[in-house]
Structure 1
């Protein structure tokens, strides 16, 4: 029943978001708008997208420092396989596949690698919130009701960075607190929590020095400013030029939307986010939808193809990896034998 609900909920969210995005749309106008898109944006879009993921790989090497020294070439394959997995598989299982593959290739513990992805997502959230706040400041005047979102973003940045830095600088405090609380929990939960918290604080050790913290924040900000440039190109492909502030707001809303449960590939959240964020600024629903489709397809196709090529080149058994990823999600012990080739 739990698994059925986990599979059904993303479908319901996707349908609801698509209904919102398509409500009142003139399909004939949408079709003609899509066909009128400019092809010149494809080349710069792909170049920026490549830089986006190169920056992501660089940042991951920094987060992984407490576990070892790795190059972009070492981390990029598993990272791209994971993103491709999120595009085609349910329940965001691509993150677990990424963990399993990189742990196998690097010799790191799977729980440790998984916790670096938690750190990565936390840094992404900080970067997204900072970009959203920057966009709001540049615009000066926000649509009605958006000031609440700005206040939440500012509070989120302050809270999240405080928690991350404290966990990274004072790991023994959090571990000691867990030891005090865990006796009241089931033994399996207590043991698993101890393992993950230990690995998380180890991963957050990268934030123990101001220079590394600054580098990680700078890379996270750069990553989402590049995403804003991709949004701008998606709109420019349909003859729309908007201010940097608007595209930064779109990035913030889109990131929030794709965090909701959805079918693989984020169909629905991206469309709803573009419509929600762009129509208050006088952009038609049809143009917002067309730009969202270009943005989504421009990500989905190259990411999925790149991840698939990396996966095939390594001759992994898909069934074995899915089985080990499922075991990781359940927190069970995972055999360390080689993948079947």
Structure 2
């Protein structure tokens, strides 16, 4: 609560919500929410949890060079990470699940965080692919469609492309040429850091590099990529099921575009749970497809809730069954992070 990043996130979320909702009628949004056929949420939640299980399999696959951990063991840890992302700012759930994995399985935090970062890079690449596959659809988006017009989305897509594809290339090169990367790390540490920080930082960095071993083979990288595509197609399936709870219809490709754009937008700092940064682009995009603004707002708010509550409750359940043992075997210093 005392950190400026927290308040900045709240401010950004408030601005996004104001810009998209100030021209809509709350009574009509509430009417759309009340009249929704909520039975459609059940298959949507089921498909979403299947996607989370595939995420657990992907993480298990990436961690094999470090330790072979069954997918059924990884699933609760992934759910806890979702919970952390939904209730804490700055995607703190990613660090939380790395700490949980160290606590329960003894995997070094710096190494598991490397796999988490690689996951997020692949997620970003697939989100961009969803947008690129539907570039022709971006012509529908105009400045009148909400807070995000066509130009803004193209700018986000271009910026995201440079960020995610650049990061992916850097990680692939680091994984394929580990000796060269290790020499570069040692050179940078010895040249730029004070003597008292060098060994601790070197240990963390080298442990981090071990988490990239799953990218050394092109086949392994392709497996991770196609698994990521499956994950996001399953999540788009949830968008499709929830859509049937409301009185409008757009194509599955339009929902792929929506999925890509809203998830790229959630990389912007915001309040916990991506309030505003998820909702505003979703409402804007559906409005561009001719969906009435109040209907689009009702759908997006219900979809956001259906994405937030079930996995957060499941993550909390798994966490409370075996809470993190703070201060005992978990990280208390940078040196311990490398162990």
Residue 150 of structure 1 deviates from its aligned partner by 4.8
Structure with higher RCO (Cα < 8 A, 6+ apart):
2
Change in Cα spacing, 1:309 to 1:135, as seen in structure 2 (3 Å) is same
Does 1:310 pair with 2:309? no
Task: Write out aligned runs for 1:1-341 (5 A).
Answer: 4-136=3-135, 139=137, 141=139, 143=141, 144-145=150-151, 146-152=153-159, 155=162, 158-182=165-189, 183-187=191-195, 190-191=198-199, 193-316=201-324, 320=326, 324=330, 327=332, 331=334, 333=336
Aligned equivalents of 1:188, 1:135: Cα separation in 2: 52
Change in Cα spacing, 1:322 to 1:230, as seen in structure 2 (3 Å) is farther
Report if aligned partners of 1:175, 1:194 keep a CA contact under 8 Å in 2: no
Change in Cα spacing, 1:158 to 1:86, as seen in structure 2 (3 Å) is closer
Aligned equivalents of 2:225, 2:244: Cα separation in 1: 29
Residue 226 of structure 1 deviates from its aligned partner by 1.7
Change in Cα spacing, 1:322 to 1:51, as seen in structure 2 (3 Å) is farther
Report if aligned partners of 1:111, 1:195 keep a CA contact under 8 Å in 2: no
Change in Cα spacing, 1:306 to 1:211, as seen in structure 2 (3 Å) is same
Report if aligned partners of 2:111, 2:209 keep a CA contact under 8 Å in 1: no
Change in Cα spacing, 1:188 to 1:25, as seen in structure 2 (3 Å) is farther
Aligned equivalents of 1:230, 1:256: Cα separation in 2: 18
In proportion to residue count, which structure has more helix? 1
The answer for the alignment partner of 2:144 in structure 1 is none
Q: How many corresponding residue pairs?
A: 329
Report if aligned partners of 2:134, 2:257 keep a CA contact under 8 Å in 1: yes
The answer for the alignment partner of 1:339 in structure 2 is none
Report if aligned partners of 2:200, 2:335 keep a CA contact under 8 Å in 1: no
Residue 149 of structure 1 deviates from its aligned partner by 4.7
Report if aligned partners of 1:133, 1:153 keep a CA contact under 8 Å in 2: no
Residue 163 of structure 1 deviates from its aligned partner by 2.1
Report if aligned partners of 1:131, 1:248 keep a CA contact under 8 Å in 2: yes
Aligned equivalents of 1:188, 1:290: Cα separation in 2: 56
Aligned equivalents of 2:327, 2:252: Cα separation in 1: 42
**Structure 1 length normalisation: TM-score?**
0.87
Aligned equivalents of 1:309, 1:285: Cα separation in 2: 36
Residue 204 of structure 1 deviates from its aligned partner by 1.8
Report if aligned partners of 1:123, 1:220 keep a CA contact under 8 Å in 2: yes
In structure 1, stretches of 5+ residues that fail to align are 337-341
Residue 196 of structure 1 deviates from its aligned partner by 4.0
**Structure 2 length normalisation: TM-score?**
0.87
Aligned equivalents of 1:142, 1:193: Cα separation in 2: 49
Moved more, 176-185 or 108-117: 176-185
Aligned equivalents of 1:147, 1:86: Cα separation in 2: 27
Aligned equivalents of 1:90, 1:162: Cα separation in 2: 28
In structure 2, stretches of 5+ residues that fail to align are 142-149
Residue 57 of structure 1 deviates from its aligned partner by 0.3
Change in Cα spacing, 1:201 to 1:249, as seen in structure 2 (3 Å) is same
Report if aligned partners of 1:228, 1:247 keep a CA contact under 8 Å in 2: yes
Report if aligned partners of 1:17, 1:269 keep a CA contact under 8 Å in 2: yes
Question: Over the residues paired in the alignment, what is the CA RMSD in angstroms?
Answer: 2.7
